[in-house]
Amino acid sequence: MTLSRRDLLKIGAGASAAVALGVRPGFGRGPSVPLDLVLRPIPSTGEKIPVVGIGTSRRYDVGASAAERDPLRETLSVFRELGGTLIDTAPSYGNAEVVVGDLVSELGFRDDLFFATKVRTEGREAGEAEIASSFERLRTDRFDLLQVHNLVDTETQLATLREMKDAGTIRYLGITTSSGRQYEQFADVMRREELDFIQVNYSLASRDAADVILPLAADRGMAVLVNVPFGRGRLFDAVGERPLPDWAGEFDCESWGQFFLKYIVGHPAVTCVIPGTARPHYATDNMGAAMGRLPDAAMRTMMEEYFDSLT
C-alpha cells in the first residue's frame, strides 16, 4: 500500500509523534524504522539547517479569527516538533508576517527558528522603512536571512543589507526570484555580488534552474532556497491518484509530496526547500522528506523520466 498526500490528512497525532521521535511509520511498507533528519550546511559559515522549511505565501495571509489561525498555529508547532527551523515570508505576502510573528510569539520558540524575510521596494529610505516594518510585524529584533525580493532595486537594497549584517541585525543576505524570465539577470547578480543565499523556483515540472543557477550557486559558495516546489499544484495534478512507483522506497519516500521534495533536495546544490505548509498533516508529510535517504543522480534522472512520461 502507498499513501497519497490526501491520505496523509487522515493520519492523526500518532504519526506526528512517531516522526518527532525520529521514527517513520511504516504505512504498510513494513515495520517502522529510525531515520535521521537531513541537514545541509550554509556554505558561507558551515551552519547546518534542515533541508525542508516552510513557505508562507498566500496560505498565511489570513485574519485574526481562531478558525483561520488555529490550523496555522498547530502546523508551526508540528513543524518545530519534527525538527523544522526555517520559515520564509515577505512583506508582500499580505498579512503573513503579522500572522507568523503572532503565532511564533504565542508558541514561544522564536530562538529555535531561522527567520527569512524580504525587501521589495525602490530606494534606500523606502527599503529601510519596509525592513523596519518587518521587524515589528514579525516581533523580532533580528533576522537570520534578509533577501532582495525579485531583484527590485538590487544594488541599493543589498548595500543596506550589508550594513545591517555588519551591525549584527541580520546574519545572512541574499536575493530571490520565482520566474525564469529573471534568470539571466539573476545569474549576473550572482556573479558580481557576494551573497550568502539565493532563492529560486525549481521542481520536477520546472527544471531550468539546474542549467545555470544551481551550478553557479555551488561554484560561488551560496546557499540555495527553493520555492514553488509543487508547481502551485501542477505536480499533484499530473500524478493524480496513481500509486507511488515501488522504487520510491529506495529513498525512503512514502507520499507524492515527499517524492517531489526529495527530488529537489537530492540536488547537492540545494540547501533547503520551502513548500507552502498550512495544515499539520502537511507539515508531517513534508518533514518526512527531510528524513532518511535521498535520491542520487541516477535515481533523480529516473524520477524525471517517470514524471515526464505522465505529462
Residue 31 has pLDDT above 70, yes or no: no
Predicted confidence (pLDDT) per residue in 205-250, tens digit = 999 999 999 999 999 999 999 999 999 999 999 999 999 999 999 9
**Among the ranges given (15-19, 41-45, 153-157, 236-240), the one the predictor scored with the smallest mean pLDDT:** 15-19
Percent residues over pLDDT 70 in the chain: 89
User: What's the DSSP call for residue 291?
Assistant: B
Domains in the chain (CATH in brackets) are: 47-310 (3.20.20.100)
Return the bridge partners of 200, or none: 226
Residue 8 has pLDDT above 60, yes or no: no
Residue 145 has pLDDT above 60, yes or no: yes
Predicted confidence (pLDDT) per residue in 167-199, tens digit = 999 999 999 999 999 999 999 999 999 999 999
| CA 120 – CA 88 distance, rounded (Å) | 14
Neighbouring C-beta atoms of residue 192, cutoff 10 Å: 9
| CA 136 – CA 174 distance, rounded (Å) | 21
pLDDT level of residue 288 (50, 70, 90 thresholds): very high
Mean pLDDT, rounded, for 28-48: 80
- Amino acid 34: pLDDT: 64
